[in-house]
A = this chain, B = another copy of it.
Amino acid sequence: MSKTIIAIIGCGTIANNAHIPAYLANPDAEIKYFCDIRKDRAEKAVDQYGCGAAIEDYRLILDDLDVDAVSICTPNNCHASIAIDCLRAGKHVLCEKPAARTYEEALEMQKVQHATGKILNIGVVNRFNTGVNIIKKMIEDGELGELYHVYVSFRAHRSIPGLGGDFTTKAVAGGGALIDWGVHFLDLVMYCAGDPDPTTVSGQTYSKLGKDIENYTYLNMWAGPPDSTGTYDVDDYVTALIRTAGPSITVNGAWAQNIGVEEMYIDFLGDKAGIRLQYGAEFTIYSAKHGALLDSTPKFTQTNHFQNEIDGFLACIKSGEKLPSHIDTVILTSKIIQAIYRSSEQGEEVSFIKQGVM
């Protein structure tokens, strides 16, 4: 069978650390293009991986009938336009998370997906994580009883990425801690809880510690050192209470806060058992039986979730199967995130029951 021909659009960190190695490791894929508006990054990829051609303009890909599928690894502000262009050009699309800067952009992407019939998956990689899938299975099997509440904590001490750059500029990224980290945590919860429809969302976001870029204190800074001439107009703290058709969800998240304790975990509260998942690490199940309190931390072989994501994308191109990372599922997370930002602006809860569609 012939190989699936791939173009990588955007050759930054996530492309190099996740997408490219996974495509290279899959015998069914072949990378034809490395595309980046910074040509040197595209060329570096060609050199490093010994395949493909370096290009600056992704529109060259649209015209190349050989290309079957693209991975979009650009900053958030290009997700929607590039994805739409690619779908319309007949390409299958794997687009990095978040789907887009806003729910409206995501809806537009979904509309084009429906119109073209091409695949549009979002890089919600936790849906391909071994541990997360074990938790999902346990919930489905009723091992937690009724899952009534989920508490989500993604609180770091001082971790703003690339202060002053793309990550902290609303026009580019669409938001800060919530859209960058929160999307992963919320999508993971939605996945495990069976993607229940949200009914109400009340939230507040704060842009505090990064505002004085020059005097921001930190121990290390990924995605580059602060640019004191740059922009910081996104959230570094977020809190929210979300009601859904399933469990309620409470969120506290911080890129930066004046509390020097890192708390990155999700609590799934069921009336039979509960689970605390340390994000990206192990989880513990708490239950009670025969008058005894039990806790247990399962040991299992963790597989590479990025590889699973890419393998899944390549397989579904052939099979037509709808993956859990399909835009139709993932769009709920966009809806929630947008509602948190809107609720914060309005200073009151957003209700999807009263308003019908948002």
Interface residues of A (CB under 8 A from B): 130, 134, 137-138, 144, 146, 148-149, 151, 157-158, 199-200, 202-204, 206, 208-209, 217-220, 237, 239-241, 243, 248, 250, 252, 257-261, 267, 269-274, 276, 284-301, 347-349, 351, 353
Q: Are A292 and B202 touching (Cβ within 8 A)?
A: no
Q: Report yes or no: B267 in contact with A259, Cβ–Cβ below 8 A.
A: yes
**Contact (Cβ within 8 A) B199 A347:** yes
Closest to A269 in B: B257
Besides A208-B271, A292-B298, 8 more A-B contacts (Cβ < 8 Å) are: A137-B290, A204-B243, A204-B248, A219-B300, A258-B270, A258-B286, A258-B287, A348-B349
A346 to chain B, nearest CB (A): 10
CB of B287 within 8 A of CB of A291, answer no
Contact A295 B239 (CB under 8 A): no
* Contact among B259, B272, B296, B301 for A274, CB-based, below 8 A: B259
Given the interface contacts A237-B269, A243-B347, does A293 sit within 8 Å of B202 by beta carbon?
A: no
Please measure, in the bound complex, the distance between the C-alpha atom of A269 and the C-alpha atom of B285, giving whole angstroms.
22
Q: How far is the CA of A193 from the CA of B304 in the complex (A)?
A: 43
Of B206, B239, B273, which is within 8 A of A250 by CB? B239
The answer to whether B237 and A257 touch across the interface, beta carbons within 8 angstroms, is no
Are B240 and A293 in contact, with the CB atoms below 8 A?
no
Complex contact B286–A293 (CB within 8 A):
no
Measured between beta carbons, the chain B residues less than 8 angstroms from A219 are 293, 299-301
Q: Is the CB of B293 within 8 A of A260?
A: yes
A163 to chain B, nearest CB (A): 14
Q: What number of copies of this chain does the assembly contain?
A: 4
Task: Return the chain B residue nearest A293 by Cβ.
Answer: B299
Question: CB within 8 A of A347: which of B157, B200, B292?
Answer: B200
Kindly provide the distance from the CB of A267 to the nearest chain B CB, expressed in whole angstroms: 5
B-side contacts of A260, CB under 8 Å: 284, 286, 293, 295
Which residue in B208, B259, B269, B297 is a CB contact (below 8 Å) of A148? B208
Which residues does chain B contribute within 8 Å of A292, judged by CB atoms? Answer: 134, 217, 298-300
Between-chain CB contacts (< 8 Å), 30 pairs = A134-B291, A134-B292, A138-B289, A149-B204, A149-B206, A151-B252, A157-B293, A200-B347, A204-B243, A208-B271, A217-B288, A217-B289, A217-B291, A217-B300, A220-B301, A239-B241, A240-B241, A258-B273, A258-B274, A259-B286, A260-B293, A289-B298, A292-B298, A293-B298, A293-B300, A294-B296, A294-B297, A294-B298, A295-B297, A348-B349
| Top 4 A-B residue pairs of the complex, sorted by shortest distance between their CB atoms | A258-B274, A292-B298, A349-B349, A217-B288
A207 to B353, CA, bound (A): 24
